[in-house]
Structures are given as structure tokens and as C-alpha cells.
Structure 1
């Protein structure tokens, strides 16, 4: 008996920052049918930059218990909505640097990825050598004359301390302090759902379904034939000729392991079948540890929900200093942290984390251990960064709008305000087939199986020394182009099939 026809030629799993891009680009070929499935809800539209809808009452995030370092537990939130975490974040959209990509495979050097950074954006304020002017994502910056007083004072303090000013932190040679490039327009966050997906939802060869939870990729031997998904409590097999995973660094690694791709020993211990022994799945991921110092704004310093959470940063020797414009209780609905803070993040940390399965039930969240500040070098770098930040807060320039909180000095030694930047990357890193720790090849195809590709931050060989959102969109652009080069026209239109 012949196998049933596929629901679509390509199933894109995850409608986040990367998945919306892949669905848009691949469905531009009218002869290819594309189904995008997202576990969360539809796009909520552009939101104000100064409010992050990720608090305790939010229904558009997934929450994961994590261990930041031994004895330090936390809960992190990731977007569960079309647009993903890029629909709920602060709009930070700084690219990875040329030195970041020097550690990636040669096929992903800065010269190779620059055309895709340019393709994805409309940035009318940067040097045209480095920037695009007709891409889907608007990239803007807050001028110094329009910045929040805290941001303006921070930049003045950086200048007083001898740091150069960089008007464009997406310039390949940028360093020092400057305004943050934002995926925003008129004070409102623009996600890839808004920029890439919503304008093309009327394509007859594109089907977008929310509330669809992927449980595993299904295989015939080592060839993917579709995705087992749960829809309104009912499990169904959604057949496809190709599967593209865009679940993010946590979701993609979790799904691959439940699909039989990962450490054979780990999977076997949980009673899961092994399709491909790739012990690199979930291993040695990167992220940026952040410790905050408290400051007290003077009376009368304003706050507006359309003021970006972060308008300016300092990049200095692997440290990023972030002056947040308001307390988190005003930024995140339901948060109880009423202190205004400056964040200090290690952008090139030694620490590497590990993600493993908690059980054989795909509904159980994975075990996520960051192992932050495990090395003496990381601890020393963080202390130096905190000393630098405290000096900036104590400067006369910053003192015109705020003062250093009394406890700022003591927190330097204890790292008591340790948190994460939520930049988890590299759980399915790319490399050669002979590299036993690699999960995908240089075209982001999963090694050891056929017809499965990954297009999100999980493929990063190392976390970039800037926040990964812009790089995630670039990865999706480039992987979409690689898929176009690998496959010819497909057939048919996506059938409803109850999807």
C-alpha cells in the first residue's frame, strides 16, 4: 500500500525568530508547500519596547527550571508565540562580530554571512557597505538627544572614562559605547512574525498552525518522514519530505533527543530508541552570565512604556555593560524587583553548560545546567566588569541622574545578583561529520540522518560576543538559501488534513 501523501513538502517546527523567516523564504517558491507549526499562540502584534510580557502571568512564554551554578536555581522564560523570544524581548539587535565568526566553519566567515545580515534589514542610518536598505526587519537607534536621561548620562560617563563612542554597534569594527540597534519602529518591537510572516499569510502554498506541539521527528530508517504532533490533545503524524527545526537552542535539542538523535548512552538509559548517536546534542552550550548592580534614579527621572529597556551599552574587552532604563517591576508585569539596575555580562565566557533529558516523556522540561563562573578566569573577568560598572555609576556624569546603591560594592565579590542574559546557544553545534561532538554539518543538516535541517541559535559553534537575536535571523536567512540550493521544486498544495 502506498504511503499517504505528505501534509506539506516542508514542515517548519517552531514559529519563533528563526522559524518565521524560514517559512517566509521557503514559501516564496510557489511550487513548494510549507507548513509552519507553533506550540504557542498567534502573533500579538508589535508591542511597546519598554514592556516585556514575560512575567508570572504571561501565557505567551514557556518556563524552564535551570541551574545557573551549583546551588543557584532560577526559572527562565522563552517566547511561546509567533515571533518567539524576539516578540517578547527588549529589541536588542546587535550582530555577531567578525571575530565571532572566525571561530565558526570557514563557510560561515564574516564575509560569507554579511550578505545575509544586509538582506534581512532596513537600516537607513548605517554605512551602506555593511547595511541593507530594503529588508524585512527595521533596525533603528535612539539618538542621543532623544535618549532617556539614564542612557544619556551613561554614555557621558563612558566618554569621561576614556571609552570611544560608536554610533553603529553593527559596524564590523565597532567598539566602545553607543546606542543599541533595535528591531523596532516608532517605539514598538517588530518581531519576525510581524516582519516576515504576516505580510505573506495569503500565500496558497503556506499553512501556519498554532497550538501544535511537536513531540518528535518520525523516521523511516534514517530518513525523516514527518513530525508527530499533539493537536488539541490528539497525537497525529504530519508527513513531510523535509523537516526544518527552529525550536530554539532548548526546544530543538529537546526534540532531537526525543526523536532518537543524541548521546546513545543517555537515550538508552531512558529507554528511548537511538536513530543517530550524536553525543553533542545538548552538550557544551554557551550563554552570557550577567550580574547586576543597583542604582537609585533621582526624583523626577521619567519613565514611559515606549522607552526601550536598553538604549545604550558599553562593549569593552569581552564585557557588556547595560544600563536598564527602569526597574524590572516596571518592565516585566508581575515582577517584584523594584530596583533600577545596571547589568554586567561576560560576552566571551569560558563556562559551558549542558542540557539533558529529564525523562522519556517529551512533556517534561529538560535539565539545564549553565555552570556559570566555574573558571577562575570567568570570576576574575566578572569582578573586573563589576568594578568598571561601579566606577561608571559613581562618576559625576551619571551622578546627575542617579546614585550608586549602598549594596553595590558588596555584590561584586559574591555575585549575589547572578542571572542569565537568556542567550542560550550552541546545543546542536555545526561542524564536520568526523567531529563526533558536531550535530549538524556546515549546511545545518543533521548528521547521521536525512531530511532534517536545523535553523536557529542551537547550531552556533560558540555563542556570539553580542546578543544572538540578529544572528539568529541571519542563520535562518542563510539556511533557507542553502535549502533552496539543495532542493528543486516540489509538488502539490498543503492539505488541511485536520491540521
Structure 2
């Protein structure tokens, strides 16, 4: 007898794990959650390096739980882009930064035709997901959700205090609660981490409900394409245990992330007709916005040698403080971000310490995987980071970029990654604001408050900092990305030629197919998208529940 599910969710990450958990609250709804990476039903078996909130070892090229995408930040700069391939998806790999999108972000979403995504309408879902350990039940927060959120308010590190004092010296406002919708300023970073342990959506949403008989989690199951009857989605072709099979479902939800979700749409015949035909894929539905116009947060890391080493008690959390501010003349509030890191590069990525080459040694403990993952990326930048990995650094991020990226299908083989072009820093507007952020960061480092900690800058000199052209060249060569890709299958009304889904997450022109992850954001939020991705899982779960009711007014377009 053919097994069939009411809903199949592809991807167990920030949105997918959340959505599967909420949909399975209805005992009559059979839900299948597919994860390409391993599943860990017992939280104690979860890889310990991925639970360490102060490290991001999963982002290292060659890590078995990292998809290891290669994207071109500029035509000259290929870059290894980490995405989670494990229960919890990228919430198992990220930096635990958990700041909500702002009211201004959601105002832009509404202006793009998505009235269901106003700040007032999403706030209840932000509250629903969180257990705020600092503020508890308030107008802005909840103390009952599955994700614990903590910020260090009582005993910030000494260098954090210096950062705060420097920001105050420079005239910025104090923002104690980054999730309360206040004016951008400096303050503590909310983290989805408790006592140094990263809490991913697998731990927060899925493992606590394993007893539900109507929820099936299938790890090590690679989705290859969506199966259709005409333009009705009816199932998913997967590969597991070395063989291919088709699993059938009434509703299919792509929550595979900003790269995988559009990739699966294109492999299934949904996308630009010309590009699909060029890649040898039969066209099911021409939808040119698939993979086009995505946004992210370009950033650079400004390294410095400290006067004194931070002790282990001041490195439990790699993130603790952040300054969000608006660039000169910008119409986008909080379009720049400055965030000090409390571990050197090697320690942050590997969770270790020791000689400046220890990080390199640790990486090549998996030589075959590492070399394969690094194929095509910048070896020069990797060597730069290795040589300076004993330095501390501050991340300078452009939180509202004018540039847009593209994802292009190059093969009909699901195991061949698409071409990813970020198109970063192609316009003067983005360059000028990132220069402003760089120079302000140097002011902070050279402030009176930072004198006990700052010794000298590394990799950059005053002549470069003071010359626009030289600084542009330096930023382009030292460019990184926050890995916050969004908008690769963006939501919008059907008369928007670039929209892929409607504001409920349903794919335009297709029945029974939804997308719920950062790929549907019209624009990446001006704060990191982790909290917003989980919120989207919560919100679209309710949309799917509503759509299944006979009396619902929501219809497939």
C-alpha cells in the first residue's frame, strides 16, 4: 500500500523544523519532515562541536554537516558559504545571533504587496517562538515559547563595557532590548544559547515532540525534485539508503533554505523558461523570479591585536554586544552594524586555541573533504585568515544592500550545485556606506574607552583607510558575507513579475506547493534573519492550517 502524508516538509532548519512541529499539533494531520543530513532523536547524541555556542566549527569547509556551497561575492572573489545539513539546519551552525527584523523592515514588505506581514501581525509570532530569559512576559516578549533567548545584562565582559562606553562617547543611544522595536543603537546581543549551548530548532521544536505518532522525521533523505500531476504537486522524489523513491503528499512545503529551495523549484521545472531549457530541465511553469534578486549582508572583518588576551571567562559567548546605526543620508534605519567578536578567527571557527597555525591543522584533519570543499574558493583569503587567526576582530556589516544576487541552474543533476553570484559592492552607494562603517569602527578602537584593549590594526593601514579608492580595493579583497541569503523565491502579488510565492507562501500558478524559509523574504531584514526565519515557520504553519479548512477564504492562485 502506498504511504501518503497530508504534508511533506523538505528541510528541518529554522523554518522547516518549526513548521513541521506546529502542523503536527493536529493529530489528524500526518506530517513527514525530510532532512538531507543526519537526524538525532536523542539530543544527547547531537555532535558536541555544534552545540558549542562560542564556536562555528560547522562553518568550516569540509565539515560533514555543511552543504559547502561556493558563491561568488564578486566576479573575482569566490567564497565558501556554509549551510546546515543536519537536524536543525543552519540553526545548528550559526552564531546564535537572535535579533528580530525591525518595523521598518516589515513596512517595506508591506509596501511590496504583502499586507499579512506588517510588524503588528508578525509580533505575536515572534513572541510565540521565544522564552525570553531576561524579560519574560511583557508587551514585546513571551516566557513560554520553545526557543530560549538570553542576553548578558548583569555581568558583561570588560571589553564589552569598553565597547559600550566608546559608543556612548561617539553619541549613539543605548538599546538594552534589541527585540523591542526601539531606535537603533548599541546594546547586548540576544542569543539562542543558554550556558554556552546553542539551541537549534531540532532541539527546541522537534525532539520534545517525538512521541507524536503523526510526525515522521526522515534523516539522510535527499530531496531530488517535486512530483506533479499537471500543475498539482503530489509528492517528492528522494534518495535514501542509496535508492530513489517517490513519497506522496497532499501539500509539499519547501523549507530547504535560500539556495536549496529555489534549486529544487528549478530542478522540478519551475523557473525561467530559458534557463531551465538551457540546463536540460523540462519546463512545467515559467516563473522567472526563481533564484533571482536575492539579498544578503556583505561584511568585512577588521582585525586588531589586543593589548591583553581575553581569559576563558570572557570567551564563553563569541557575541555579546552590537551597534546598529543609520548611515549618513540613508533612508533605511539601522543599515550598518558593528559587532565585536571575542574569539580569534581560529578559535571561533574551530573552538580551539594554541598556535596561529592550529586552525589550519585542525581543518586538514579531514583533508579530502576540506580540499574538495575548497575547490574554486579563494586560497589567498584562507591563508590570510590563518596567518591572522590570533587577532581579535570586529565585523562591519552592511545591513541594507542595494546589490542583488542571482542563483542560476547549471545542470539537471540535483547533486550539482547551482551558480551563485552575490554581485556585492557593485555600486557606490553600498561602497560609501561600508567605508563609513569601517572608519567608525576604527574610531571605536582608537577611543579612550578602548585604550586598555586595542594595540594596533592588522592587514590595513591609515593610508588605505583615508583613501576612498584604496579602501574600496581593500574591502573588495577582504569581503565576506554574513550568510544571510534571502529573497531567492520572494513573496509578492501575482502581478509582480519577480514574485515566486504569494504572501501566504503558496507558489504562484501551482497547486499544493508552498515555500517557507528565508527565500520568500522580499528583502533580508536589517538584523540577522535567524529569528525571522523561525517566525516565518510559525506564521506559515497557521496559513497552511487555515487553508485546509473548508470555510477558509484563502485559495490557490
Tell whether 2:294 aligns with 1:294. no
Tell whether 2:97 aligns with 1:92. yes
| Partner residue in 1 for 2:527 | 466
Tell whether 2:385 aligns with 1:381. no
Alignment partner of 1:132 out of 125, 142, 146 = 142
Alignment partner of 1:179 out of 175, 188, 205 = 188
Alignment partner of 1:282 out of 261, 279, 291 = 291
Alignment partner of 1:321 out of 338, 343, 358 = 338
Q: Distance in 2 between matches of 1:85 and 1:309?
A: 17
Q: How does 1:167-246 map to 2 (within 5 A)?
A: 167-246=176-255
| Partner residue in 1 for 2:354 | none
Q: How does 1:433-448 map to 2 (within 5 A)?
A: 433-448=494-509
Q: Report the CA distance between 1:124 and its aligned residue.
A: 4.0
Q: Report the CA distance between 1:435 and its aligned residue.
A: 1.4
Tell whether 2:403 aligns with 1:351. yes
Q: Distance in 1 between matches of 2:455 and 2:431?
A: 26
Q: Distance in 1 between matches of 2:340 and 2:516?
A: 32
TM-score in terms of structure 1 length: 0.94
Q: Report the CA distance between 1:345 and its aligned residue.
A: 0.5
Decide whether aligned partners of structure 1 residues 406 and 445 sit closer, same or farther in structure 2, where only a CA change above 3 A counts.
Answer: closer
| Partner residue in 2 for 1:65 | 70
Tell whether 2:488 aligns with 1:478. no
Q: Distance in 1 between matches of 2:12 and 2:491?
A: 22
Q: Distance in 1 between matches of 2:448 and 2:39?
A: 47
Which SS does the other structure have where 1:296 is aligned?
strand
Structure 2: 5+ residue stretches without partners: 41-45, 327-334, 351-358, 361-385, 466-470, 551-557
Q: Distance in 1 between matches of 2:214 and 2:199?
A: 25
Structure with more of its chain in helix, by fraction = 2
| Partner residue in 1 for 2:347 | 330
| Partner residue in 1 for 2:84 | 79
- Kindly indicate whether the alpha-carbon contact (under 8 Å) linking 1:431 and 1:442 is maintained by their aligned counterparts in 2: yes
Which SS does the other structure have where 1:62 is aligned?
coil
Q: After TM superposition, what 4+ stretches of structure 1 lie above 6 angstroms from structure 2?
A: none
Tell whether 2:543 aligns with 1:487. no
| Partner residue in 2 for 1:408 | 460
Which SS does the other structure have where 1:153 is aligned?
helix
Alignment partner of 1:369 out of 406, 415, 421 = 421
- Give a deviation string over 1:249-297, Cα, whole Å, max 9, x none: 0010111100111101110111211111110000000000001111112
- Give a deviation string over 1:87-131, Cα, whole Å, max 9, x none: 111110000000000111111110111110111111143371111
Q: Distance in 2 between matches of 1:234 and 1:124?
A: 46
Alignment partner of 1:449 out of 492, 504, 510 = 510
Alignment RMSD = 1.6
Tell whether 2:7 aligns with 1:13. no
Q: Report the CA distance between 1:5 and its aligned residue.
A: 4.1
Structure 1: 5+ residue stretches without partners: 490-499
- Kindly indicate whether the alpha-carbon contact (under 8 Å) linking 2:11 and 2:256 is maintained by their aligned counterparts in 1: yes
Alignment partner of 1:432 out of 474, 487, 493 = 493
Decide whether aligned partners of structure 1 residues 10 and 406 sit closer, same or farther in structure 2, where only a CA change above 3 A counts.
Answer: closer
Which SS does the other structure have where 2:52 is aligned?
coil
